[in-house]
Chain A
């Protein structure tokens, strides 16, 4: 088995890098998702078209190849290098933001028409309607599919190891090369990803409950679903959108 030193010196910093990459890409992805998703509901066809084009392009691109491109091709064009971690975050954020925009668009479309009409009747501007009425109401619907995406993103961060970002997977590979103990190391990696994913899910459950309470649905269906939370988020996610492992 590995020694304590290996874990402390390689895995711990790797876990921290994985968490950072996940966090930064998630923030970028959220910004992209809300911006593009909202623009895709615009009244102006040109705005819808441009946002839709972004969505189609980035949904259809491999995050891994995008990372390679940012690290190895972009410097040739710009004569200017991106820090590998930044390139990784950018590639993941832009791609997952595209998936997320579909979640945002769908959830906004599911807000009842009457809410828009009430907003018009009170002379809110379109932006005020979005910000004060439609997005807050759409938010609880977005969280289960966002949870799915976030976990996909977490696991997708393993890709940054191939552009020399020293995340968990990178650390695991280093240790494996040094110790020749593949089985325990990959098992440990799987467990670590699962533990992080599970933590994220629990966190998202709290956010979901909060979001529901904010739209006047406090403690909704808590008893049953708390027990089924893992299955439930998987089901809702697959219904709401299909992302799967497309990223890899």
Chain B
């Protein structure tokens, strides 16, 4: 790990921020610091950690030496113009993409690598699956399984991935479907539901795996306007009533303001500004942030 020694300063900063204000993420696009793993456990509750992550598509650098952390239980919203790399972060975490450089850790374990004989090597499929179970994702286009009814969509992974008994999984699934308010649709196929209902099922499906961190990738962007509120209400509920960590990419700024502990403004693969939602939305410092907010608010 490219660890420039000790960075007591950094650790201290993290703790300070945490106590001083409800900011979660100590994020620094330009700071080249990174602590070693002992220190990051000392920092306590760090759940997601990107160290110098670079992602390129061909000649285009989408993420550039990105460092950022999310602490356990916090809700972090990523905002920024399209193409700024927000969704790429979620897709890297979900292992739908692999970074060209840098490391990603989830709950203290490497996601992008595997430690073998004290060295970081390319991870095996099994290792990746193990770490990935801590992460759940809701997609812009729901991606429900059309060949399964609602109940089975939610039960399938808990039964076949987590190894839960059918009864246990069914009970869990029914609870979650009730939480998203779709109990009467348990026996329907996704094609028989509206977009908003499908997205709520997708939320239940992701939660059924009991992930530690939930990734929401523009979950209302593909919905008809009148269906957006229902989905956001469900998410607001979940955000406020559980201690699940959330990483949210959205263009719904009022939703972001309601649920976020911190907002990160992305531009060209870097975090250019971060802070509490009050600060970012009310008194943005950076010109790019002001400009961006004026287009979406």
Contact = CB atoms under 8 A, between A and B. Distances in A.
A234 to B, nearest CB: 27
Interface in B194-218: 205-206, 209
A121 B141 CA distance: 14
A128 B95 CA distance: 17
B192 interface: yes
B189 interface: yes
Contacts of B165: none
B191 interface: yes
B94 A120 contact: yes
Contacts of B136: 121
Contacts of A120: 94-96, 132
Interface stretch (A76-84, A188-196, A199-207, A209-217): A209-217
Which of B95, B146, B191 has the most A CB atoms < 10 Å from its CB?
B146
Chief secondary structure at chain A's binding surface: helix
B94 A125 contact: no
Interface string A162-185: 000000000000000000000000
A248 interface: no
A126 B128 CA distance: 13
A118 B145 contact: yes
B139 A115 contact: no
A121 B160 contact: no
A137 interface: yes
A132 B143 contact: no
B157 A216 contact: no
B189 A123 contact: no
B145 A133 contact: yes
A1 interface: no
7 contacts: A114-B143, A117-B96, A118-B144, A121-B136, A123-B132, A125-B125, A216-B191
Contacts of A224: none
A122 B205 contact: yes
B160 A215 contact: no
A136 interface: yes
A126 B132 CA distance: 14
Question: Size band of the B side of the interface?
Answer: 20 to 34
Contact of B147 (A122, A123, A126, A214): A214
Interface string B123-149: 001000100110111010101111101
Interface in B131-179: 132-133, 135-137, 139, 141, 143-147, 149, 156-157, 160-161
B190 interface: yes
A247 B12 CA distance: 75
A45 interface: no
A122 B161 contact: yes
Nearest to A216: B189
Nearest to A218: B189
Contact of B146 (A121, A124, A132, A137): A137
A216 B160 contact: no
Contact of B137 (A112, A121, A126): A121
Nearest to B137: A121
A133 B160 CA distance: 12
A215 B96 CA distance: 25
Contacts of B146: 137, 215-217
A132 B160 contact: yes
Given A121-B135, A128-B160, A215-B147, 4 more contacts: A117-B94, A121-B94, A122-B161, A126-B125
Query: 6 shortest A-B CB distances, which residue pairs?
Result: A216-B189, A122-B157, A118-B143, A114-B143, A215-B147, A121-B137
B149 to A, nearest CB: 8
Contacts of A215: 146-147, 189
Nearest to B158: A122
A115 B133 contact: no
A123 B209 contact: yes
Nearest to B128: A123
A123 B132 CA distance: 7
A125 B133 CA distance: 12
A133 B95 contact: no
B55 to A, nearest CB: 16
B104 to A, nearest CB: 15
B48 to A, nearest CB: 15
B209 A122 contact: yes
